[in-house]
Amino acid sequence: MIDHVRDIASVREATDRLIEAVSSWDNAALAEPSLLPGWTRGHVLAHLSRNADALVNVLQGLPMYKDAETRDADIERDAGRPLDAQLADLRATADRFEKVCGEPADWERTVELRNGVTDRAARVPFRRWVEVALHHVDLGVGYGLGDLPDEFTAREIEFLADRWSGRPDVPPVTLRARNGEDSPVWHTGGTEGTPVVLEGGVAEILGWLAGRGDRGARLAVVEGPGLPELPPL
């Protein structure tokens, strides 16, 4: 059951945590590479601000972005700003997102995101939480996948496992968390190819599904030919 009110609060907590982590930087730190290929830390922060605006558009029934080219150009334009400008933008866009989320609305309505993807409005706050939490990891400031809240990790694994389900380019995969007798199990992938069973910690499972960290290198292949390679998100 999606609790969008609780997710809105979680977005605020995650945003405050990220802002606190970067507030002590200098401008040179923004120009350093992030953990995302081709992006500096400034690109990551610029993307977070523009994504908040984009999700405001979604909740207001507008196109998420004008087009892919404009999205990319806006991130590139804002990536080189000094720290004070980046922080001011992060705070202002977070406030706008929270304000729009607080307005009376039908949270069961269907909204459209990028590339024709649709979802319930109630899922949008969680999608924003995903952006903030995973991109905090991408900044490479010592905040890793294992530091993410347990609730977030479990929900994002479930979300991503569903995302890769039914894909003909991903074999049938069973994911087993190594957490004792009541360890959760997830299934993903399509129906073609040799089935694979992977086992490991939830942070490693999330890393494989989200293409982050060591990308599942520490997962044990219990059955099957090896660790499948997932398409880009």
Non-local (6+) Cβ contacts of 96 within 8 A are: 52, 53, 56
Structure tokens at 182: 């009541």
Region 202-223: mean pLDDT is 95
Per-residue model confidence as pLDDT tens digits over 192-212: 999 999 999 999 999 999 999
**Residue 3: per-residue pLDDT:** 96
**Residue 124: per-residue pLDDT:** 98
Non-local (6+) Cβ contacts of 118 within 8 A are: 110, 111, 112
